[in-house]
Structure 1
Amino acid sequence: MRTLAKRILNSAEEGVISLLLVSMTLLVFLEVVLRFGFGTTFIWAQELTLHLSAWFVLFGVSYGLKVGAHIGVDAVVRLLPPLGRRVVSGIAVVLSLIYCGLFIYGSWIYLYKMKRIGIGLEDLPIPTWVAHSILIIGFVLLSLRLLQLLWAIAMGRAEGFQLADEARESMHLAADANRDGGEGRS
């Protein structure tokens, strides 16, 4: 059951991220063609693009945590023994969960007030609380990913955050370029 729920979450997250990226790209492309090709535009396109990008970013934060796409400063943590890395990472995850909780709480108050007041977006017939609900959705998803990470750390399956190692990746690219005889150099 756990793996089914995890697969559903992963698929839904990836599907929404893909849909948002495609929607933003097509909308911006259409706007450029309309603006520079025909001298016209959709009034609502900029506001929709802004909200799509906000949704994309906040969905992407939790997905980035899942796939290890975030960068981090972990030079000191890497010097620690495995147990030390797990303890420090566990503390970092708990602090991150507290931050998410505060953000979810503040977002709940904000969205409740927007719903109660009845404010809508300027150019789209969408209530503000609906458009900005990604604040709660995004941080709940991030909290779920952090809880998964905390569980993996507690069970000894992870020592900490899976971070992107850009320096290592750059060294591999440089080594590949040197091995290929310097192709790709300008």
Structure 2
Amino acid sequence: MLRAIAQGLGRLEEIIICLFLVGMTLLVFFEVIVRLMYAELIELFGEGSIDIFWIEELTLMGAAWFVLFGAAYGIKVGAHIGVDAFVRLLPLAARRVVGLVVVAAGLAYCGLFLAGGWVYESKMYKIGIEMEDLPIPRWVTFSMLMLGMVMIGWRLAEIGWRILTGKAGGFDLADEAREVLEDRVEMNQEAAR
């Protein structure tokens, strides 16, 4: 049951990331087209009728949400690049200790951002400031900072639990060097044919 919920949430996370990417791409495409045709549109609709400044602000907010969703997803799938050449030389027990230290540091970082985000969000909520070009309260758009840190913290806690229960040997990261060497071997094999 819990596994099905986790898989469903993971799938939802992937869909949201894709929607942010597609949405931002379409917004920027639309903005470029409008900017290229700005003079013609002013002639057609009149001065002051074309306001596209909100697109840039919405795209920036979408990018911030996309980055934080993507960071949490990157932790989940082990896509972040790390400098762990030294750690890989350590015995398994030491790798686990280093992994737990890394997880603890990451959780502390998330905690600091959550605390700061809470202070900022509560002030923005009390003040009631809206975005410059969008009629949306600033606290709503900046709430992703706290949500993103919760997601990242959750992913780090999952890794920490896997290390503690012996299901992981440490904080597994993308191994770029191994991937490059594998690609090189594959290219050499193709060239030899």
Short-chain TM bin: over 0.9
Structure 2 contact 102–171 (Cα < 8 Å) conserved: no
CA positional deviation for 1:162:
2.1
TM-superposition CA deviations, 1:60-117 (whole Å, max 9, x none): 1110001111000111111110111011101110121111111101101100000100
Structure 2 contact 163–170 (Cα < 8 Å) conserved: yes
Identity of aligned residues (%): 51
Q: Tell me which amino acid in the other structure corresponds to 2:7.
A: R
Q: CA 1:182–1:107 in structure 2 vs 1: closer, same or farther (change >3 Å)?
A: farther
Please name the residue that 2:26 is paired with. Answer: 26
Please name the residue that 2:13 is paired with. Answer: 13
TM-score by length of structure 1 reads: 0.93
Alignment of 1:52-131 (within 5 A): 52-131=62-141
Please name the residue that 1:149 is paired with. Answer: 159
Q: CA RMSD in A?
A: 1.7
Q: Tell me which amino acid in the other structure corresponds to 1:5.
A: I
Aligned counterparts of 1:182 and 1:134: Cα–Cα separation in 2: 51
Alignment gaps of 5+ in structure 1: none
**Number of matched residues?**
183
Structure 2 contact 121–139 (Cα < 8 Å) conserved: yes
TM-superposition CA deviations, 1:31-88 (whole Å, max 9, x none): 1122124456612111011000000000011100011110001111111101110111
TM-score by length of structure 2 reads: 0.89
Aligned counterparts of 2:29 and 2:170: Cα–Cα separation in 1: 40
Alignment gaps of 5+ in structure 2: 42-50
CA positional deviation for 1:9:
2.1
